[in-house]
Amino acid sequence: MLESLKKDLSAVMVRDPAARSRLEVVLCYPGFHALCFHRLAHWLWHKNIRLPARWLSYFSRFFTGIEIHPAAVIGEGVFIDHGMGVVIGETAIIGDNVTIYHGVTLGGISLDKGPRHPRIGDGVIIGAGAKLLGPVRIGEGARIGSNAVVVDDVAEHTTVVGVPAHPLVRDMDAETGAFEAYGTPCDEHADPVQEELRELRQAVAALQAEIKRRHITVTPVAVPKPEKKESAS
């Protein structure tokens, strides 16, 4: 347990430029506090000390604003940044070196007792407000953009955005391998909707240039106004 917490602490120092010292993280970072509470609650849960484990997770929620079921499996080097509003369900499995921002939900959408929450691979980044619903699998190194709603599996080293989540046209993270804060590349050609709008603007501009070149005059067509019906007296 202590080794896992040391790796969690190191993860904060590496991924958050605002962290000035390990002492500051220990005293002032609710995401780190939530992991401390969870690792103890998880140990109690597997010792079949279930009610104290649930109470400890409830206290952690009250203290940090982060709700983690004590049965959830969380790897090492995990960083919950800011953390307010994060919800991690009972059967969720989170790999090593995962980054989770505030407002993220790893939720279940069925009443089955079996696996019903997401399984997150190593090195995944989940942006603020993202919702991952059901037993979806998120591949190693994937990026989940802010406010994305994920209801299907995500391949390794793929960035998804939108509602429902869909892969980007060009995955910058896969090309550079760099850490991407909030899991969302800031690239003008990254969003497929923006890409389509850009192509549409280019097509319109080309048509306008062709019309001008051919000296074609486009006369607006007058649309007749509908006649007013006389009201019956």
- Residue 166 contacts residue 192 (beta carbons within 8 Å): yes
Q: Once rounded to an integer, what is the mean pLDDT over residues 17-34?
A: 92
Whether the per-residue pLDDT at 230 is higher than 80: the answer is no
* Per-residue pLDDT band at 68 (split at 50, 70, 90): very high
Domains contained in the chain, number: 1
Q: Which of 38-42, 164-168, 204-208, 226-230 has the highest mean pLDDT?
A: 38-42
Residue 211, domain member (yes or no): no
Q: Which residues lie below 8 Å from residue 224, measured CB to CB, with a gap of 6+?
A: none
C-alpha distances out from residue 100 to 27, 66, 146, Å: 19, 11, 10
**Residue 215 among the catalytic residues:** no
Q: Residues of the chain with pLDDT > 70: what percent? A: 82
Give the Cα separation of 120 and 118 in Å (integer): 6
Whether the per-residue pLDDT at 200 is higher than 70: the answer is yes
Residue 98, domain member (yes or no): yes
- Residue 102 contacts residue 117 (beta carbons within 8 Å): no
- Note the pLDDT tens digit of each residue in 77-111: 999 999 899 999 999 999 999 999 999 999 998 88
Give the Cα separation of 154 and 120 in Å (integer): 10
Please report the pLDDT score of residue 216 as a whole number: 67
Please report the pLDDT score of residue 7 as a whole number: 85
Pick from 140, 180, 135: nearest CA to 161: 180
Report the amino acid identity of residue 98.
Answer: V
Range of the domain at 21: 2-186
- Note the pLDDT tens digit of each residue in 129-163: 999 999 999 999 999 999 999 999 999 999 998 88
Please report the pLDDT score of residue 224 as a whole number: 73
Whether the per-residue pLDDT at 34 is higher than 80: the answer is yes
Residue 212, domain member (yes or no): no
Active-site residue, from 33, 38, 69, 102: 102
CATH number of the domain bearing residue 80: 2.160.10.10
Residue 13, domain member (yes or no): yes
Residue 197, domain member (yes or no): no
Residue 137, domain member (yes or no): yes
Residue 171, domain member (yes or no): yes
DSSP 61-127: HHHHS-EE-TT-EE-SS-EE-S-TT-EE-TT-EE-TT-EE-TT-EEE--S--SS--S-EE-TT-EE-
Residue 193, domain member (yes or no): no
Give the Cα separation of 218 and 30 in Å (integer): 63
